[in-house]
Structure 1
Amino acid sequence: MAAQLQMHPAADASPAAAGTAAPGVARSPHRAGSRRDYVRLRTALLWLGPAIALITGVVVYPAVELVKASTGDYSLTGLRRGSVGAANFTQVLHHPAFATVTANTVIWVFAVVAVTIVIGLGLAQFLSKEFFGRKAVRWAVIVPWATSLIVTARLFTLALDYYHGVLNSLLTAAHIIDKPIDFLGNDSWTMPSMIAVGVFVSLPFTAYVLLAGLSSIPAEVYEAARMDGAGKWRTYWHVTLPLLRPALLVASVLNIIYVFNSFPIVYTLNDRNPGFAHDTSITFMYKLAFKSSEHSIGMSAAAGVINVALILIVVLVYLRSVKWKEI
């Protein structure tokens, strides 16, 4: 009995020891899972690392420096002399040309994007049809997109010239006008001319995005519409356009961003005109830093921050209006 009694503590200690060891055994799969998660995370970072580094260097770092510059005071040589807080933003918002530049930007972006989408939709419909030389026409449409914007804008500057422009020569020879039109110097013609060039360079991208959307619509959908007795226009409005919504969304959003930031076209076509009468927000920033009497890098940076905010607001309002989450 004594021997048995002496064995009870040992017997009691054994479950306790087992109970102590049990958590360790239970944690082993957890440790293995953590190890696997760590390996997966490391593998993902190895693949995503270059992209993250590129985004950090090209997007994040310049954005941080832009915000920092918008609150600073700089010399003509670019040396930071200190912080001025929100004074640069106040000066930009109270600038005499700010209202004009904002109105120009709204007109420029809305007109170019709207006209580009409408014409691009028709061009995409045309390019989706079978006809002789379709491949050559598709290659010709993409040329303005492949060409540098500076080169394209400079060519249009020559074509729209008052004295030696091709367009004035053709219109005069055809007796459509009696005397040349100053397309780039007359206040009534400068913005329409800029919009026309903006539409020209935006059409290839838009047409190809919409062409891709048209190509992705199954032929069975059109066959079902024909079997239901739908005509061409009814099929277009109730079948084609609804199924094109994703492509239209991509084309619209990207065009809004591109047109907002289109510096070469606006500056090249408008560089002969003094002041800010025909400038948009992107050229307004440049002139504040290098061309105007202010010569203020801080104000230019503040205008840049405001420009980014405007782009985000416009895009978010557009996405909300089209209910993009339902697409």
Structure 2
Amino acid sequence: MKSRTRIPTTPLLMILPSFLLAMSIIGYPILDLAWTSMQEVSRFGKMMGFVGLVNFAEVFRDPLFYSSLVRTVIWTVAVVGGTLIISLPIAIMLNDDFHGRGLARVIVMLPWAISLTMTAVLWRWSLNGRAGLINATLMDFHIISEPIEWLATAPLAFTVEILVGILVSIPFTTTIFLGGLSSLPQDSYEAAVVDGAKPWELFRYITLPLMKPFINIAIVLNVIYVFNSLPIIWVMTEGGPANGTDILVTYLYKLAFRFGQLGKASAISLIMFSVLFVFTIAYVLMVMRQEHDSADEEVKHDA
């Protein structure tokens, strides 16, 4: 007679209230957003009638949606990629024991304490074409001969905004990596140093493999954060000039609060949520599959 595995119900009952609370907090806005996206909504928020998928059809017919979508992908990949590449070496340096390490950590983390909107305002002032600090400094060092209008053209403005996005994302990502580095076993490093391993080999064969879980966490959290980030682009250029720096979140903000097209903006919000949800699930499944394959290879190797 086969023995039946009993599923413990006590832990499930204990987490049930928190699960229901989280689902109500997250689920209700999503359902309300889905309902709004299928309504004709006045600019004052009044429901005028059910229109089905008309708002989605208008979104997919709008060329600005596709250009904003492409720009959102570029923005997210560039900011997240640049942040990871810069933050990991910074975290490794801050993890070493040196005189003034505490002060160095405070300096790196300090921008995290400043409002993102205020940071964007400061950069907008600094990048002003006539009276900006950046132009004044570059001209004092004779690097440029005349002021540069950093935010006057879309390609240059978007590049500058990506660099600012990387800058403001470094403290959070560095914190994640510092937590991971502090938990790594030191025995592996000591053994590798005894065997004559060089710093690059220590990083490639010990640090990087052991930091993969923390890198995966940083990727997921940063993608979600950067994909939905409004303040930098909105404060610096408001998606201009000529919608040349618009990403999806600034595009829907304009539709909702400048043009009063709340139904269409709700449809874009739902599309953005779907994209992030699919990305998160796909990335987590990919990471789990890689870990499972690695475990299988280790078992085969040991056998």
Q: TM-score range by the shorter chain?
A: 0.7 to 0.9
Per the alignment, residue 207 of structure 1 pairs with 174
Q: Which structure 2 segments of 5+ residues have no match?
A: 1-5, 293-303
**Residue 101 (structure 2) pairs with residue 144 (structure 1):** no
Contact 1:185 1:272 in 2 (8 A): no
Alignment of 1:61-140 (within 5 A): 61-140=28-107
**Residue 272 (structure 2) pairs with residue 307 (structure 1):** yes
- Report the TM-score when normalising by structure 2: 0.88
Per the alignment, residue 17 of structure 2 pairs with 49
In structure 2, distance between residues paired with 1:322 and 1:111: 21
Q: Deviations over 1:162-201 (max 9, x none)?
A: 1111111101111111211111222231111111111111
Q: Deviations over 1:14-43 (max 9, x none)?
A: xxxxxxxxxxxxxxxxxxx9xx96xx4797
In structure 2, distance between residues paired with 1:275 and 1:64: 34
Q: Which protein has greater RCO, CA pairs closer than 8 Å, 6+ apart? A: 2
**Residue 260 (structure 2) pairs with residue 290 (structure 1):** no
Per the alignment, residue 253 of structure 1 pairs with 220
Contact 2:68 2:251 in 1 (8 A): yes
SS, match of residue 97 in structure 2: coil
Structure 1 residue 52: deviation in Å?
Answer: 3.8
Task: Report the structure number with the largest CA radius of gyration.
Answer: 1
Structure 1 residue 126: deviation in Å?
Answer: 1.1
Q: Deviations over 1:245-284 (max 9, x none)?
A: 0110111110000000101112111227354221111111
In structure 1, distance between residues paired with 2:172 and 2:102: 16
SS, match of residue 73 in structure 1: strand
The one-letter code of the counterpart of 1:252 is I
Contact 2:120 2:236 in 1 (8 A): yes
Structure 1 residue 316: deviation in Å?
Answer: 3.7
SS, match of residue 48 in structure 2: strand
The verdict on how the C-alpha distance between 1:148 and 1:52 changes in structure 2, with shifts beyond 3 A counting, is farther
Per the alignment, residue 186 of structure 1 pairs with 153
Contact 2:177 2:215 in 1 (8 A): yes
The verdict on how the C-alpha distance between 1:225 and 1:281 changes in structure 2, with shifts beyond 3 A counting, is same
The one-letter code of the counterpart of 1:126 is M
- Alignment: residue pair count: 286
The one-letter code of the counterpart of 2:198 is G
**Residue 223 (structure 2) pairs with residue 223 (structure 1):** no
Structure 1 residue 232: deviation in Å?
Answer: 1.8
C-alpha root-mean-square deviation of aligned residues, in Å?
A: 2.2
Per the alignment, residue 29 of structure 1 pairs with none
SS, match of residue 40 in structure 2: strand
Of 63-72 and 222-231, more deviation after overlay is shown by 222-231
Percent same amino acid among aligned pairs? 36
